[in-house]
């Protein structure tokens, strides 16, 4: 759909939805629907469902906050991490579902999200869940239906309790948006083995072997020079399949048994990272994780 074209790319189309009651064929005009007429539920996998009455006319863009967050208010142009589930309000056809995989990364901009969803999210707090109704476009040659969409606004940085670490370890200074700067103490001994230090303890699900994990990270060499980072707004967070060997060993092993929401500092010898760059320090914020379903 043009108004959420970017969102439609995030999930595959399905042919399921949740509707209640057939349309009233005796009515000469469809009564108007509103966001208050929708019911958000939860299925057995803890993903949202949307229940609605079929046959209503959905004419206005509306938004309600299902629950509020406790993070910062969203501002135009900032990075986003969103879980989304949406259905057609004509027949319940699923138009997007990210809850069975990764939450999706965006920037809060109308050209990426569409005007309706952009306005719905502007000012919402991180951690909130909203329910948004978007009517069919006025100029609608493709016959796009009105849609309802549940959106969870997830943190783009580690959230949890800070953990006090030894004074002889590298120091981490966080910018206002969470971007880390790493300072290596003079004379710090280079690591012979992998060291993983939790600096922020999150309370989300635990990362297991075989999980897919989305992280923000910064890597510096033993002189403190940045080698790589996912933090600039134009760069999406890194997606890692733990145990696949697609990422460096230091990151894959460093994520094991950690929890979503945590920040970990990984001190790695060159052999477990990049042999030509020497030992490295990697600061990783664990944003999201999911376990792929085994095929029956």
- Indicate whether 191 and 133 sit together in one domain: no
pLDDT in tens, the chain (296 residues): 444 544 444 333 333 344 444 444 444 567 888 999 999 999 988 899 999 998 899 999 999 999 999 999 999 999 999 999 999 999 999 999 999 899 999 999 999 998 989 999 999 999 999 999 999 988 877 888 999 999 999 999 999 999 999 999 999 999 999 999 999 999 999 999 999 999 999 999 999 999 999 999 999 999 999 999 999 877 889 999 999 999 999 999 999 999 999 999 999 999 999 999 999 999 999 999 999 875 33
Residue 296 within a domain: no
Beta bridge partners of 268: 280
Kindly report the length of the chain.
Answer: 296
Residue 81 lies in a domain: yes
Does 142 lie in the same domain as 188?
no
Among the three residues 154, 183, 205, which one is the final residue of a domain in this structure?
154
CATH number, domain containing residue 144: 3.10.50.40
CA–CA separation, 288 and 216 (whole Å): 10
Q: 124 lies in a domain?
A: yes
Task: Based on the fold, state whether residues 22 and 89 are members of the same structural domain.
Answer: yes
Assess whether 17 and 139 both reside in one domain: yes
Given a contact cutoff of 8 angstroms between Cβ atoms, the answer to whether 80 and 106 are in contact is yes
Residues 67 and 177 in one domain: no
Verify that 177 and 93 share a domain, yes or no.
no
Specify the number of domains making up the chain.
2
- Residue at a domain's end among 154, 169, 198: 154
Q: Do 189 and 74 share a domain, yes or no?
A: no
The answer to the question of residue 147 being in a domain is yes
Q: Does 221 map to a domain?
A: yes
**CA-to-CA dists, residue 210 to 99, 102, 244, 245, 257, angstroms:** 18, 14, 7, 11, 12
The answer to the question of residue 295 being in a domain is no
Q: Are residues 198 and 140 in the same domain?
A: no
Stated pTM of the model: 0.85
Do 141 and 7 share a structural domain?
A: yes
- Let me know whether 144 and 169 are in one domain: no
Give yes or no: residues 186 and 278 share one domain.
yes
* CA angle centred on 137, ends 3 and 24, rounded to 5°: 120
Asked if residue 250 is part of any domain, the answer here is yes
Last residue of a domain, one of 136, 154, 172: 154
Same domain, 228 and 193: yes
Q: 58 lies in which domain range?
A: 2-154
Assigned domain for 189 exists: yes
pLDDT of residue 7: 46
Q: b/e string for 96-131 if b means 16 or more Cβ within 10 A?
A: bbbbebbbbbbbbeeeebbebbbebbeebebbbbbb
Instruction: Report d(CA 110, CA 125) in Å as an integer.
Output: 18
């Amino acid at each position: 759909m043009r108004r959420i074209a970017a969102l439609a790319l995030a999930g595959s189309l399905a042919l399921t939805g949740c509707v209640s009651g057939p349309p009233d064929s005796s009515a000469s005009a469809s009564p108007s629907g509103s966001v208050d007429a929708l019911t958000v539920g939860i299925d057995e996998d803890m993903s949202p469902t949307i229940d609605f009455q079929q046959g209503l006319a959905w004419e206005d863009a509306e938004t309600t906050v299902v629950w509020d967050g406790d993070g910062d208010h969203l501002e135009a142009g900032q990075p986003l991490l969103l879980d989304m589930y949406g259905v057609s309000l004509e027949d319940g056809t699923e138009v997007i579902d990210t809850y069975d995989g990764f939450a999706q990364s965006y920037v809060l901009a109308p050209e990426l999200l569409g005007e309706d969803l952009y306005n719905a999210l502007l000012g919402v707090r991180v951690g909130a869940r909203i329910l948004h109704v978007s009517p069919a476009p006025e100029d609608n040659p493709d016959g796009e239906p009105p849609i309802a969409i549940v959106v969870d606004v997830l943190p783009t940085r580690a959230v949890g309790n800070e953990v006090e670490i030894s004074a002889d370890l590298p120091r981490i200074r966080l910018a206002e948006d969470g971007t880390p700067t790493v300072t290596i103490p003079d004379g710090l001994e280079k690591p012979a083995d992998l060291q993983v230090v939790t600096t922020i303890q999150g309370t989300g699900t635990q990362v297991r072997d075989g999980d897919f994990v989305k992280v923000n990270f910064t890597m510096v060499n033993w002189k403190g020079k940045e080698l790589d980072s996912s933090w600039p707004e134009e760069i999406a967070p890194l997606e890692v399949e733990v145990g696949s060997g697609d990422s460096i060993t230091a990151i894959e092993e460093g994520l094991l048994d950690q929890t979503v929401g945590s920040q970990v500092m990984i001190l790695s010898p060159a052999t477990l990272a990049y042999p030509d760059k020497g030992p490295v320090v990697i600061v990783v914020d664990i944003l999201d994780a999911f376990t792929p379903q085994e095929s029956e």
